Amino acid sequence: MDNATLSKIGTIFYALVIGFFGINHFVYGTGMQRMVPSFLPGGVFWVYATGTCLLLAAIAFLIDKQVRLAALLLTLFLLLIVLTVHLPAVLNAPDNNARRFPLTNLIKDTGLAAAALLLAARRS
């Protein structure tokens, strides 16, 4: 299988994962609003807004339109979430058991940001 085919398959898988997370923002929005940093007013609005952004990025990847822009914006978004949501949760966890879930999310979103950056780089 050539690199172009592998890249397309990988992009489709990645888009499906990102789309899944976007849908989760709508399905579990009220539960996710507690993760919105306290310095941001609006609570659940941000969950739905970011869910919309995730879905739009997934669609851009699937229809192969504005992929570089969508991937760069997704990278920025994911790194902001790592720094403003997951890292504070890791640092403020009372013990190692409470630290497991936010640390997993920090690593997951860092990996997803890296993949988005790779996708953007392939579209230069």
Give the residue numbers spanning the domain of 76: 3-121
Under a CB-based contact definition with an 8 Å cutoff, are residues 45 and 97 in contact? no
When pLDDT is averaged across residues 41-58 and rounded to a whole number, the result is: 94
Instruction: Give me the number of domains the chain comprises.
Output: 1
pLDDT of residue 23: 97
pLDDT > 70? residue 124: no
The whole-angstrom separation of Cα 21 and Cα 64 is: 19
Per-residue model confidence as pLDDT tens digits over 15-32: 999 999 999 999 998 889
pLDDT > 70? residue 45: yes
When pLDDT is averaged across residues 70-83 and rounded to a whole number, the result is: 97
